[in-house]
């Protein structure tokens, strides 16, 4: 049964190839090399006359390895919503738009090309619109993409903390207990000093500061959901 897509243009559909298709392998390489989104990395290539003529990744091609705490994940935004909250996951940084940009930057007209995307299973409305307006013929994904790259699967791999130790400063009472419960669920150890992440409760919320940094990588707002949202930050670190 075909998956139900959050968006599909009325007169278009995705095409599918196996994961070891040569152009899909090229897209997988682009994902490794170009994707600046560590949480949902996507690679993409443009093929014209049987040749890969352009490649890109999502996250504005910032390249792998940058810490990004996504507000959409902190706030548990449903799939396909909340892009406006995040400057990395905003539609202009999606792999499809980055690819069209990369092609045009090197003087290649995308019209009549095919596009192969590795790392995702559907394309959002702004991306489809951009591909169609650029004259792209077909958008290919891996034949099992909706399972291989489902949110649960991808986040299961990328939303596991690489930090190990956390210090909690300025937390008391029920809030302290709730946050400790979240640390325990993530398998993180609470330490008094020299932590990988310091969580400091202040007037503006819970500031999460990575070891060696001064500025917080994220500040969780004060509210009922603070423990859950703090957990969502730590999962991304
Ligand atoms: Zn984001
Ligand atoms: Zn998109």
The model's pLDDT over 85-119, given as tens digits with 9 standing for 90+, comes to 888 878 889 999 999 999 999 999 999 999 999 99
**Cα-to-centroid distance, 233 and ligand 2 (Å):** 23
In a domain, 10, yes or no: no
Cα atoms in the 13 Å half-sphere on the side-chain side of 98: 28
**Cα-to-centroid distance, 130 and ligand 2 (Å):** 9
59 or 191, which is more confident: 191
Query: Minimal CA–CA distance to 127: which of 93, 104, 103, 86?
Result: 93
**Cα-to-centroid distance, 181 and ligand 1 (Å):** 25
Residue 63 has pLDDT above 80, yes or no: no
Residues 125 and 230 grouped into a single domain:
no
Mean pLDDT of the chain: 93
Residues 150 and 69 grouped into a single domain:
yes
Number of domains in the chain: 2
Residues 100 and 68 grouped into a single domain:
yes
What phi and psi values does residue 166 have, to the nearest 5 degrees? -135, 140
Ligand closest to CA 131: 2
Ligand closest to CA 232: 1
Ligand closest to CA 129: 2
In a domain, 172, yes or no: yes
**In terms of residue numbers, what domain contains 184?**
165-234
Q: Give the domain-ending residue among 132, 158, 184.
A: 158
In a domain, 2, yes or no: no
Question: For residue 144, with 0-12 CB atoms within 10 Å meaning exposed, 13-18 middle and 19 or more buried, which class applies?
Answer: middle
In a domain, 1, yes or no: no
pLDDT score at 2: 66
Tens-digit pLDDT profile for residues 122-178:
999 999 999 999 999 999 999 999 999 998 999 988 898 989 999 999 999 999 999
Residues 58 and 147 grouped into a single domain:
yes
In a domain, 116, yes or no: yes
pTM: 0.80
Question: How far is CA 16 from each of CA 114, 122, 139, rounded to the nearest angstrom?
Answer: 12, 11, 8
Residues 170 and 154 grouped into a single domain:
no
**Cα-to-centroid distance, 68 and ligand 1 (Å):** 7
């Amino acid at each position: 049964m075909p998956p139900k897509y959050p968006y599909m243009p009325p007169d278009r559909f995705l095409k599918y190839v196996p994961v070891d298709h040569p152009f899909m392998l090229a897209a997988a390489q682009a994902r490794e090399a170009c994707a600046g989104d560590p949480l949902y990395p996507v690679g993409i290539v443009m093929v014209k006359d049987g040749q890969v003529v352009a490649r890109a990744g999502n996250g504005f091609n910032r390249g792998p390895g940058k810490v990004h705490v996504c507000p959409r994940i902190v706030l548990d935004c449903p799939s396909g919503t909340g892009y406006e909250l995040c400057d990395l996951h905003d539609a202009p940084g999606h792999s499809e738009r980055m690819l069209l940009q990369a092609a045009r930057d090197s003087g290649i007209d995308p019209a009549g090309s095919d596009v192969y995307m590795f790392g995702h299973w559907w394309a959002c409305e702004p991306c489809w619109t951009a591909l169609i307006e650029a004259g792209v013929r077909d958008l290919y994904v891996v034949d099992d993409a909706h399972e291989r790259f489902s949110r649960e699967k991808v986040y299961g791999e990328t939303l596991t903390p690489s930090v190990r130790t956390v210090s909690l400063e300025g937390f008391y009472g029920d809030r302290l207990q709730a946050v400790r419960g979240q640390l325990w669920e993530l398998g993180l150890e609470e330490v008094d000093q020299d932590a990988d992440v310091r969580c400091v409760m202040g007037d503006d919320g819970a500031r999460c500061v990575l070891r060696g940094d001064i500025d917080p990588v994220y500040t969780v707002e004060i509210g009922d959901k603070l423990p859950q949202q703090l957990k969502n930050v730590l999962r991304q670190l």
